[in-house]
Structure 1
Amino acid sequence: MASTQQLIDEAAKIYKVLSNSTRIKILYYLRHQEHEIDVKSMVNDLQLAQPIISKQLGILYRYQLVCRHKEGTRVFYSLDDPHVVEMIDDMLNHVKHEIKGEPHPQNLYTRIR
C-alpha cells in the first residue's frame, strides 16, 4: 500500500495537470458529451488547433483523467473519472465566492469543530 507521502505526491502531480485551463476546458467538454468523441469534433467544437488538443489529451490520458480508443485513424475520448470534474466544480464554486467577496458556506467539518 502506498504511503501517505506517496499519495500526496501523486495528488500534487494531478493538481499540476489540472492547472492548465485548456485541459479543464477539455474535461468539461467531455463531461457534457453523451458518448465518446473524436479529436476532429473537439477541434471544431472547442475552436482550438488539433495539435493543442492532441497534446493536452495525451497529458490527460497519461494521468488517467480520460480514456481513449482508436477506430482506424480516428481516436475517441471520454472521461475516465467524472469525480475529477466534480472536484473542479468545487474549486470553481470556491472561486465564485472569492470573486463576489461572499463568505463560503459552512461545511460539516467546520460545524463539528
Structure 2
Amino acid sequence: MTHEELIDRAARLFKVLGNSLRIHILFYLRKHGESPVSAIVGHLGVSQPVISKQLGILKKYDFVQKRKAGTFVYYSINDQDIVQIIDAMTEHLDHLDRLQ
C-alpha cells in the first residue's frame, strides 16, 4: 500500500467516525456486546430507520457485523481495532477533561 492509499484509507475511517450517532452506536456495542437493533434504538432514542441506516454504513466499512435470528437482526463490533480506537479516544478525551 502506498503512502497516499494509506492516507485515503485513514481519511475514510475518520469520516465514518465523524458522525456522532455512529460513535454512539459503537460505544453502545462496545459496552453491551452483540445487540438487536431494537435495543440500540431503545437506548439511543432514535428511530429504527435512522439507526438501521447508520448500522448499514458501519457494516459497509466492516466496523460491525450482523446476524439474523428469526425476525431479529443482531449487530456486534466486527473489527477489534475499532475497540482500541474507541478506548484510545475515550482515554484522550478523559485526559483533556483533566487538563481543564
Residue identity over aligned pairs, in percent, reads 46
Q: Secondary structure at the match of 2:32?
A: coil
- 1:31/1:82 contact within 8 Å kept: no
In structure 1, stretches of 5+ residues that fail to align are: 103-113
Q: Which has the larger radius of gyration?
A: 1
User: Counterparts of 1:31 and 1:64 in 2: how far apart (Å)?
Assistant: 15
- 1:39/1:53 contact within 8 Å kept: yes
- TM-score normalised to structure 1 length: 0.76
User: Counterparts of 1:101 and 1:45 in 2: how far apart (Å)?
Assistant: 31
**Given the alignment of the two structures, is residue 41 of structure 1 paired with residue 55 of structure 2, yes or no?**
no
Whose helix proportion is higher, 1 or 2?
A: 2
- 2:27/2:86 contact within 8 Å kept: no
**Given the alignment of the two structures, is residue 5 of structure 1 paired with residue 7 of structure 2, yes or no?**
no
Cα root mean square deviation, aligned? 1.8
User: Counterparts of 1:96 and 1:32 in 2: how far apart (Å)?
Assistant: 17
In structure 2, stretches of 5+ residues that fail to align are: none
User: Counterparts of 1:87 and 1:54 in 2: how far apart (Å)?
Assistant: 23
1:13-92 counterparts in 2 under 5 A?
A: 13-34=12-33, 36-92=34-90
The aligned counterpart of 1:106 is none
The one-letter amino acid of 1:53's match is I
